[in-house]
Structure 1
């Protein structure tokens, strides 16, 4: 099937969107009976994490979907190593304070005994 270019334009004739031509196993254009718009406040959506899937025609609010993050094997390994490092730091938190206390005692003993 061949599909022609659909052009969306405003009341002055200014072109806003063109779909472009398409050929192959594609769907025909839907019939448009009404066009509306909404303005989204700048910065209100993190487009790096979400996208606008559609607009709820009743509430006039955007329907947001999260962008699925697919990690590479390298990113998965890095995440696992970061988690392991975090666990090791937590496990050794008490041990670090013991080492510092022991070192402090050694220094005090040396100072008190003029060593």
Structure 2
């Protein structure tokens, strides 16, 4: 029995170690919450992620809250440090730097594009 436990422990360790070596990105989260209020989340994601990744991250941070808007930035320096109470309280320059907004009650992702 003692040897079975050692063998099992060794196999588990090897599998976890090998998977971490094979794909180091898989262990890191693509998005992090910078701050949040009851109805608004400041979400910072790695650059160049796809919309599905944004949606999944925003759904996860909003959870079961019906009224939740997750604003998404790729540059943490351009995102607000503190989440305001409402969307309209986000400073215009910071709102313009966002890449997307997840509106949780309608399950909609609004992708923001720069106008030239």
Name the TM-score, length of structure 2 as normaliser.
0.27
Higher relative contact order (CA 8 A, sep 6+): 2
Task: Name which one, 1 or 2, has greater alpha-carbon Rg.
Answer: 1
Specify which structure has the higher proportion of helix: 2
